[in-house]
Structure 1
């Protein structure tokens, strides 16, 4: 039986693996995306993460596509109450030009009160729901005081549009600043953070040095993005081997250093002892780390998703965890580099 995990100090309980949706409407069409969500929900999954800017990087796309796909799926399936929906605000939506190829100031981005409230209303429409379970700021906005951002988010909670608030891509000091401001001003507080975190170097160090202790001390839930390093930790990318046909292949190979390749080799060794896959081992290791709630994974097919869902049943031994941790030990790697 799957044990659902409490998200920080909130009242939300999440499936151990969140389902990311950045690929919806990009590398997975709508029918495929619905099939992926069906398989995830049937397996007991209840946590779907998206963002308003998915997928603005594709030609002619103003954003909101992923939210729309999820909204139609929930409406068609009638399962809104089963799903913890998380989305984000901050990025630019629907750029406006001056007719000469230059962008004009249009205030359709950022973390101002004006844009947060408008963006939330737009996300609610696309998701075809009356509330968002977890509304996250996608990254820092240096142009807006944190007090204004948290005040606007608090108003959304009090209106019933949002249940809980969280942040993504925040450093430790930025998170502490937000927590302190919420406490001092009696505003809603971030219950979660969504950092980039995986066994790869330097990603692991970037999270564990400062942000992990803050989350553990203050009860902030952790829902990492890219826990498989953009697919690197699946084992399908290896040094000296041909690249697979993938939209992320070129980016993955840039991170395929000697150290990271050794980490992948360790994952394969541990996986062979359990009859598992390297990706499952990498995710199982992450689920054993402090303050961890639910790594967010993506899939372009039901087959890919089902393989990742096998993580939930995988039980690594203390020796397995130690072996993996040692292989990706960033403190040791730094010492070796300095000497």
Structure 2
């Protein structure tokens, strides 16, 4: 496992982060713990979660992660969690108000069985709370020793700039952004990445395998495998955009390129993401321990301009043109559980 610095901070994170959205569920505790242990065995030291994960059993994913890491030397891992999306039924159980940020952090620390989190992230931008209130709450958590670093998730370029300016005044800089990014979803390249780089923020990207589509598990004109996200009620909302024949056929063309390079499709997809110097780590969700052995280690491929061009060409076809999503996402409601992108 290789490591990278997160933004302009001194924090080192593993190139691959283990995430537990939709993968660590209360009814799968044994398997979920096995996934975390497999990640540790693979050399992964960075683990990402959120207070909403496991909903409607809010915090369940944090509890599983905390219980599994409880026997691990705390300084040897980086624990990342988030706040903003609904974590309870009440009107104050959401958003980035001082009340919710402080209370959510206390709950996350309890569930994670730790005195501090390495990175605390604003899961979305909150249009209903003054940004000054949010940033001051984050700064107070840092000064109290409950949070080491602060980041955000799915903020626009303008929001990054506004937040970073306030954070700088408080001497608690924003060091990271957590957006979606993959071969098939490149929305952040136009505005978000340039803004983040200029602000010294690293990218912790999620869904680098496009919800498993770039793992090659979904084939054209073939029913999705049982147990996959495409047949899960929640996961299907996210993977559904990729399940059309044109995209799945294009993915198989990319798989041929991977074979020519002597690697697998998911390893090529991860290597492509990490080829971007703005990316600090790629977050992968693991529902079975063997998925780690299938996807890791990520090879240091020689992704020449010719290879990159061939990949882009494979992701087009005469009828539909460019199959890569590049357009800016629509704005969602502040606390919409559905993410702020087209579904």
- TM-score of the pair, normalised by structure 2: 0.85
1:30 Cα offset (Å) = 1.6
SS in 2 for 1:246: coil
CA deviation vs aligned residue, 1:198-256 (integer Å, no higher than 9, x gap): 111xx31x211111111222221001111111111111213222221134215334423
Output the CA distance in 2 between the equivalents of 1:20 and 1:28: 18
Matches within 5 A, 1:224-303: 224-250=205-231, 251=236, 252-257=239-244, 259-303=246-290
Give the gaps of 5 or more residues in structure 2: 324-343
Listed one character per residue, the Cα deviations across residues 74-124 of structure 1 (whole Å, up to 9, x for unaligned) are 21x2322211000000121221xxxxxxxxx54111100111011101111
Inter-partner Cα distance in structure 1 for 2:196 and 2:77: 24
Structural mapping, 1:88-127, within 5 Å: 88-95=82-89, 105-127=90-112
Q: Distance in 1 between matches of 2:46 and 2:244?
A: 33
Tell me, yes or no, if the aligned pair for 2:219 and 2:249 is still in contact at 8 Å.
no
Residues 64 and 123, structure 1, Cα contact 8 Å, conserved in 2: yes
- Structure 1 pair 69/226, CA: closer, same or farther in 2 (3 Å)? same
Aligned partners of 1:28 and 1:48: how far apart in 2?
Answer: 20
Cα deviation 1:16-68 (Å, max 9, x = unaligned): 110001134429722212211112112211000000011114xxx2x111111
Output the CA distance in 2 between the equivalents of 1:113 and 1:70: 25
Superposed, 1:27-46 pairs within 5 Å as 29-46=28-45
Cα distance in 1 for partners of 2:149, 2:65 equals 19
Identify the match of residue 317 of structure 1 among 285, 296, 303: 303
**Which residue of 112, 130, 133 corresponds with 1:145?**
130
Gaps of 5+ in 1: 96-104, 335-339
- The structure carrying a bigger strand percent of its residues is 2
Q: Secondary structure at the match of 1:284?
A: helix
Q: Is the 8 A contact 2:88 2:94 kept in 1?
A: no
Aligned to 2:339: none
Q: Secondary structure at the match of 1:111?
A: coil
For each residue in 1:131-178, what CA deviation from the matched residue of structure 2 results, as whole angstroms up to 9, or x when unmatched? Answer: 000000100111101111011000000000000000001111111111
The Cα RMSD (Å) is 2.1
User: What does 1:203-222 correspond to in 2, within 5 Å?
Assistant: 203-204=185-186, 206-222=187-203
Q: Which residue of 1 aligns with 2:182?
A: 198
Residue of structure 2 equivalent to 1:85: 79
Change (3 A) 1:28 1:299: farther
Does the 8 Å CA contact 2:242/2:248 hold for their aligned counterparts?
no
2:69 to 58, 71, 74: 74
Question: What is the rounded CA distance, in whole Å, between the counterparts of 2:128 and 2:201 in structure 1?
Answer: 25
Residues 249-280 of structure 1: per-residue CA shift (max 9 Å, x gap)? 15334423455335412321122123322111
**Residue pair 1:178, 1:189 contacting (<8 A) in 2 also:** no
Q: CA offset at residue 191 of structure 1?
A: 0.4
**Gap change, CA 1:27 and 1:287, over 3 Å in 2:** farther
Query: Does the CA contact (< 8 Å) of 1:17 and 1:45 recur in 2?
Result: yes
Q: Counterparts of 1:43 and 1:107 in 2: how far apart (Å)?
A: 39
Q: 3-state SS of the aligned residue for 2:205? A: coil
TM-score, normalization by structure 1:
0.86
Of 129, 134, 151, the residue aligned with 1:166 is 151
Report the count of equivalent residues.
313
SS for the counterpart of 2:221 is coil
